[in-house]
């Protein structure tokens, strides 16, 4: 029984609910006992009736306090007061059997059932069963003493026994059920943690593979296609950048943010420099200042997707020149990579086509962007990468200065 609550709240909520119910039942029993004493007062008077009424009211008051503040001290006071109440009330009722002969056993059971409904202190269900057991034993003992004092042989009190058995059974079953649930929770937690760790590992693997494919593999292909002899300065710079990616990349976090206004710090232009080092001639047009509106993570994914497209120009287009155009509107920034190479059919399944679908699209989709491709055999290829800009209130407003063209 979990009541639809989190595991750490079930024990307290269930214990309080059961205690509140038992306290209300106890109050009803005490009011019934008070009515019985009032009926007796109509036929005879005496100080013992006044004392009995006072003790019943005191027991009811302590039960109200116990319902609001369940402490060991209040519970002990309630048990002691209730024991005295059971003794005085039983002695009073049994002293006039002719007045209430048909309901004498039930009437005697009223304060006894109220004493059993002590409900316990603290928030433990097993502890509540122990408190109720103590109340039952004290109530039966006080009733037996009162019967011995009145010289009456009492009948079997099924009412108190039934109330005690029902209450303790509910408390014990609830406690056992909660314990089983508590034992199952660590297994469920471990399963959730394992699933989260597996998802994180998959994401890390995909990110690592894509990053290596978009940077290091491109440089290795450029090295393989280079003319035998000394490595050119551009190719050397590209290989150095690839080694930097392998050595210094923090695979668990996003890219470090670049300073707005610094064109060279943009991940896109660093990617273009790496492609230039491989022998590709890249012309940059459009509004390069728009890249300042991107977050570091979006700038990184956009740059790696663009670098993959530029790498495809070197590997598959049959040309050594490409154009990169930057455009923007209120909500997005677009980077268009165009070449006048051999083109291809979108339904093809060569390595370059698979890279566009799996690497480029996956990167752009991950940041909430889109990819459009226009191509056909012999007519070149144009790829448009569109990504969302940063939320205005999450990025400080910047005054963008004009930059030198590259």
Q: Which of 167, 169, 117, 107 is nearest to 138 (CA)?
A: 117
**151 vs 143: which has the higher pLDDT:** 143
For 36, counting Cβ atoms within 10 Å of its Cβ (0-12 exposed, 13-18 middle, 19+ buried), the class is: buried
Give yes or no for a contact between 88 and 110, defined as CB atoms under 8 angstroms apart.
no
47-51 long-range contacts, Cβ below 8 Å, gap at least 24?
A: 48/88, 48/91, 48/92, 49/92, 51/88
Average pLDDT of the segment spanning 256-282: 69
Question: Which of 160-174, 199-213, 304-318, 353-367 has the least mean pLDDT?
Answer: 199-213
What's the pLDDT at 385?
94
Question: Which of 55-69, 154-168, 221-235, 320-334 has the least mean pLDDT?
Answer: 221-235
Give yes or no for a contact between 288 and 252, defined as CB atoms under 8 angstroms apart.
no
CA neighbours within 13 Å on the CB side: how many for 87? Answer: 13
What's the pLDDT at 238?
66
Q: Which of 241, 249, 314, 242 is nearest to 282 (CA)?
A: 314
For the chain, domains (ranges, CATH) are 7-187 (no CATH), 215-394 (3.30.565.10)
Average pLDDT of the segment spanning 378-402: 69
pLDDT, tens only, 20-61: 777 788 889 999 888 888 888 877 667 778 888 999 999 999
Give me the percent of the chain exceeding a pLDDT of 70. Answer: 67
**297 vs 121: which has the higher pLDDT:** 297
Dihedral of CA 129/130/133/138: which sign? negative
What is the rounded CA–CA span in Å between residue 205 and residue 200? 9
What's the pLDDT at 291?
87
Q: Is the pLDDT of residue 400 over 70?
A: no
CA neighbours within 13 Å on the CB side: how many for 144? Answer: 7
Pair of tokens at residue 163: 């109330």
């Amino acid at each position: 029984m979990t009541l639809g609550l989190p595991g750490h709240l079930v024990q307290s909520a269930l214990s309080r609910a059961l205690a509140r119910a038992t306290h209300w039942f106890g109050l009803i029993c005490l009011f019934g006992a008070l009515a019985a004493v009032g009926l007796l007062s109509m036929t005879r008077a005496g100080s013992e009736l006044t004392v009995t009424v006072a003790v019943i009211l005191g027991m009811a008051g302590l039960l109200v306090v116990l319902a609001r503040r369940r402490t060991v001290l209040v519970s002990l006071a309630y048990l002691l007061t209730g024991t005295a109440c059971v003794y005085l009330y039983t002695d009073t009722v049994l002293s006039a059997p002719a007045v209430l002969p048909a309901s004498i056993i039930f009437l005697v059971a009223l304060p006894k059932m109220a004493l059993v409904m002590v409900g316990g202190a603290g928030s433990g269900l097993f502890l509540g069963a122990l408190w109720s057991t103590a109340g039952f034993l004290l109530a039966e003992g006080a009733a037996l003493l009162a019967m011995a004092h009145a010289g009456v042989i009492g009948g079997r009190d099924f009412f108190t026994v039934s109330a005690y058995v029902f209450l303790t059974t509910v408390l014990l079953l609830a406690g056992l059920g909660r314990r089983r649930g508590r034992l199952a929770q660590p297994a469920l937690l471990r399963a959730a943690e394992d699933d989260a760790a597996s998802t994180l590992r998959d994401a890390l693997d995909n990110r690592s593979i894509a990053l290596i494919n978009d940077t290091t593999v491109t440089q290795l292909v450029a090295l393989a296609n280079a003319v035998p002899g000394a490595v050119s300065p551009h190719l050397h710079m590209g290989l150095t950048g690839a080694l930097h990616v392998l050595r210094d990349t923090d695979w668990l976090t996003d890219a470090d943010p670049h300073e707005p206004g610094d064109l060279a710090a943009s991940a896109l232009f660093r990617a273009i420099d790496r492609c230039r080092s491989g022998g590709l001639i890249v012309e940059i047009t459009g509004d390069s200042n728009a890249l300042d509106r991107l977050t570091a993570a979006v700038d990184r994914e956009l740059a790696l997707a663009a670098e993959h497209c530029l790498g495809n120009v070197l590997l598959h287009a049959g040309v050594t020149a490409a154009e990169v155009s930057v455009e923007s509107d209120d909500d997005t920034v677009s980077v268009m990579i165009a070449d006048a190479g051999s083109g291809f059919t979108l339904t093809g399944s060569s390595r370059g086509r698979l890279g566009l679908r799996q690497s480029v699209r996956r990167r752009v989709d991950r940041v909430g962007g889109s990819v459009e491709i226009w191509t056909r055999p012999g007519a070149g290829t144009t790829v448009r990468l569109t990504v969302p800009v940063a939320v205005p209130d999450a990025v400080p407003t910047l005054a963008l200065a004009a930059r030198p063209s590259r």
